[in-house]
Amino acid sequence: MTDYMTSETSPWIKVEMSHWKPFLDNYVPVAFRKNTTIYSQGQPAENVYIIHTGRVGMFSILPNGDAKQIYIGDTGSILGEVSCIRNQSYIGSAITMTYCKVYKIPSADLYQEMQRNWKIAELVINSICRKSGLLHYQVMEMSFASPLNKTVRALLHLVKDYGEPTKDGMLITIKFTHEEVANLINASRTTVSGIFSRLTKDGIIEKIGGFYVIRDMNALLQLEKDSNMQLW
């Protein structure tokens, strides 16, 4: 993969839960059904949220009412930390994409813990820096990369973050939809579906039991290389 194909530029964000211990031992995760709004853009930022299980989409609501998906938080990801630290309203909306269990932590509790525990402070700072860098990367990608470029890169990110080798190829161990990918790369679902169909026809990917398998990783890497427009 090219040198920018790192977890730092992946829109799927996850953190080892063990890194939050023992801070989270004092809290009990709250359950949320799929498609539930945890908090909305513009609401007072009174709590931060750390995902115990499941996936949560982070959306920015544009002035015309459209929603732009920025990233997807997975296990261990913290939500709302930027707004809480700045003591302002939430700058985005967090909506569950699966059934989730999420720790709800008062902002004051997190702030106090950051003051006395550098390990927690470092986690929060790293999260803020990563999301800032991701936004910059997305702006560059939206400006210069084609839908094919972006779709292939999304698949490579999924392989890096969730891939497991099997006899059939590299299995992506989470289920995702074409619409989910389209939202993340700022393309239409129809366009992304067409690209997935092409990759399937060419024998590069295959959907088995609801999960995607990269059948020919070398071909996918070559396609990314051939279509790559260097951003950095």
What domains sit in the chain, N to C, each tagged with a CATH number?
7-135 (2.60.120.10), 145-227 (1.10.10.10)
Query: How high is the pLDDT of residue 232?
Result: 34
Query: How high is the pLDDT of residue 175?
Result: 93
Burial 90-121 (b: 16+ CB within 10 A, else e): bbbbbbbbbebebbbbebeebeebbeeeeebe
- pTM comes to 0.85
Query: How high is the pLDDT of residue 91?
Result: 93
DSSP bridge pairs for 30: 102
Query: How high is the pLDDT of residue 9?
Result: 82
Query: How high is the pLDDT of residue 76?
Result: 97
Beta carbons within 10 angstroms of residue 142's beta carbon:
13
Query: How high is the pLDDT of residue 230?
Result: 43
What tokens appear for 183 in the block? 């939202």
Q: pLDDT truncated to tens, each residue of the chain (232 aa)?
A: 443 344 678 899 999 999 999 999 999 999 999 999 999 999 999 999 999 999 999 999 888 888 889 999 999 999 999 998 888 899 999 999 999 999 999 999 999 999 999 999 999 999 999 998 888 888 777 667 889 989 999 999 999 999 999 999 999 999 999 999 999 998 999 999 999 999 999 999 999 999 999 999 999 999 988 776 444 3
What tokens appear for 184 in the block? 């993340």
Q: Which helix (H) or strand (E) holds 7?
A: none
Query: How high is the pLDDT of residue 84?
Result: 87
Query: How high is the pLDDT of residue 65?
Result: 81
DSSP 165-182: EETTEEEE-S---HHHHH
Query: How high is the pLDDT of residue 85?
Result: 84
Q: Using the Cα atoms of residue 96, residue 51, residue 158 and residue 166 in order, give the sign of their dihedral.
A: negative
Provide the residue count of the chain: 232
